[in-house]
Amino acid sequence: MRVLAQVAMVMNLDKCIGCHTCSVTCKQTWTNRTGVEYAWFNNVETKPGVGYPRRYEDQEQWKGGWMLDKRGRLVLRSGGRVKRLLSLFANPDLPAIEDYYEPVTYDYDNLVNAPAGQDVPVARPRSVLTGKPTAITWGANWEDGLGGAPEHAGADPNLTGAWADKVKFSFEQTFLFHLPRLCEHCLNPACVSACPSGAMYKRVEDGIVLVDQDRCRGWRMCVTACPYKKVYVNHATGKAEKCTFCFPRIEAGQPTVCSETCVGRLRYLGLLLYDADRVGEAAAAPDEKNLLDAQRDVFLDPADPAVIAAARASGIPQDWLDAARRSPVYDLVEKYRVALPLHPEYRTLPMVWYVPPLSPVLDAVGEAGGDADDPDHVFAAVTRLRIPMEYLASLFTAGDTDVVAGVLMKLTALRSYMRERTLGEEGDERALKAVGLTAREAEDLHRLLAVAKYADRYVVPAAHTEDAALTALENRCPVESPGDVPGAPGRRVMLGIPTLRRTSEGGSA
């Protein structure tokens, strides 16, 4: 067992109001620069919808992520080294600017400098790329709140299968929810394995995936290989850029900017301990539907004495082990199992997980003439929710509706029980028992999902600079992929910035 720690994130989709504050604050921090105008390290999509870039989830088209070859070996969908080398100068599997959107600015000068005349001056849009007048026809959140859904959303790659007919894009028949997305800082990152220059790397100490700007040669193989399309090319420098998980803040014990500013308070940050020796095996699980369990099996119980001993032997400091035991991410992913990964079938083992949205289930019980206090009526309603189970399964469980139903029933039982408690009643525990929760666990999960304060949502231990020189000596990626050269340049650890005092408790509650 080789124990490593990763800073991971969970988002509770029920609470996302689609305000885009996370995207805007991320942009102001990281991509408010020439060359990356079109890049949103954090973006918020409306689902159903084609996303950003358009149809990024269609891996038949974009060739992102991993797949199993005929002999069951894990290989990049974009091809092996020979194929990648042959397409160095003409890679056909790259989104074009139209698939993202053409960034624009406005002729503001015209508003104040236009000569006097009969007409009111206007500020026409101009392309930031060419400087020429342009028409605005698409954007990073063009489909916000299902804008244009009758025309576009049917092209959502998740809408496959006979059940997709249930999704009607007409007023009062449709549903929507918001899906904030950023780099998944995967355990088995396709971008790292695809990079011919060794510029992409995953840090040993906290699992953050970064691009070394000095090593990047702009081959863009990472853009193709990332199935979430979360690597962007800066058209001014010609180099790859991506979400940094706000590593300078993380090293100082602070949450990422998107988490800090999230209006819905739906993001959670915490450590997950995992066994690096089992990552390859988990990513190569033969059946896609087993990938979720395979990834969960890689995570380790931070309270297990054997894990603690192995973690100490791996050099994980005591305060990190303490933080791992208090991790809200561990609780949501492993203890209560209500969080799910986005598209596990891409086999990158993503580390940003989601609590799926539960549409108003108690309303559904009432509409069907049922009793909102009867567990049988409530559970039956879960299968009739406006968000089709198959759609959520397509996003979070490689199509396994049973797993999604299990999570939704747990959330439903919790909601029903806490509703009674809030109304001053005893609380019927039958529904809780049916989903494997005790009353105490329900109180704990409710506290975490509904009312957790800042210090409970973000448990981020500060970096240890005294260990930086030691970890730098490791000089290699903790997770090897088929064909990797151990210790290859570029797969090294990045040194931490000077440790700052932990300030997470000092933020807004």
Number of neighbouring beta carbons within 10 Å of residue 33: 13
Per rule CB under 6 A, is residue 231 in the interface with ligand SF4? yes
C-alpha separations of 174 from 165, 181, 184, 379, 395 in Å: 11, 22, 29, 22, 18
Instruction: Tell me how far, at minimum, the Cβ of 193 lies from ligand SF4, in Å.
Output: 9
- The burial class, CB within 10 Å (0-12 / 13-18 / 19+), for 335 is middle
Total of chain residues touching ligand SF4, rule CB under 6 A? 28
Binding residue (CB under 6 A) for ligand SF4 from 7, 22, 140, 462: 22
Residues 237-266 that bind ligand SF4 (CB under 6 A): 242, 262-264, 266
Question: For residues 330 and 346, which CB has a smaller minimum distance to ligand SF4 in the complex?
Answer: 346
> Sign of the C-alpha dihedral, residues 227, 289, 358, 451?
negative
Do the Cβ atoms of 462 and 251 come closer than 8 Å? yes
Residue 411: both structure tokens together: 């959330």
Chain position carrying tokens 């906290």: 206
Binding residue (CB under 6 A) for ligand SF4 from 19, 68, 104, 372: 19
Instruction: Tell me how far, at minimum, the Cβ of 23 lies from ligand SF4, in Å.
Output: 7
Chain position carrying tokens 């990834």: 295
Chain position carrying tokens 């299990």: 406
For 435-454, the DSSP string reads: TT--HHHHHHHHIIIII--H
Instruction: Tell me how far, at minimum, the Cβ of 348 lies from ligand SF4, in Å.
Output: 5
Per rule CB under 6 A, is residue 228 in the interface with ligand SF4? yes
Per rule CB under 6 A, is residue 16 in the interface with ligand SF4? yes
Instruction: Tell me how far, at minimum, the Cβ of 300 lies from ligand SF4, in Å.
Output: 21
Question: For residues 185 and 491, which CB has a smaller minimum distance to ligand SF4 in the complex?
Answer: 185
Residues 315-374 that bind ligand SF4 (CB under 6 A): 348
Question: For residues 180 and 302, which CB has a smaller minimum distance to ligand SF4 in the complex?
Answer: 180
Per rule CB under 6 A, is residue 390 in the interface with ligand SF4? no
Binding residue (CB under 6 A) for ligand SF4 from 6, 18, 59, 78: 18
* Chain centroid, CA 141 distance in Å: 17
Question: For residues 316 and 477, which CB has a smaller minimum distance to ligand SF4 in the complex?
Answer: 477
Query: How many whole angstroms separate alpha carbon 274 and alpha carbon 6?
Result: 8
Question: For residues 19 and 97, which CB has a smaller minimum distance to ligand SF4 in the complex?
Answer: 19
Binding mask 126-155 for ligand SF4 (x = CB under 6 A): ------------------------------
Do the Cβ atoms of 11 and 352 come closer than 8 Å? yes
The DSSP code for 331 is I
Decide the pairing of beta strands 231-234 and 104-106. Answer: unpaired
Residues 164-203 that bind ligand SF4 (CB under 6 A): 178, 180, 183-186, 189-191
Instruction: Tell me how far, at minimum, the Cβ of 50 lies from ligand SF4, in Å.
Output: 18
The DSSP code for 224 is H
Helices (H) and strands (E) in the chain — how many of each? 23, 14
- Interface residue list for ligand SF4 (CB under 6 A): 16-22, 44, 178, 180, 183-186, 189-191, 209, 226, 228, 230-231, 242, 262-264, 266, 348
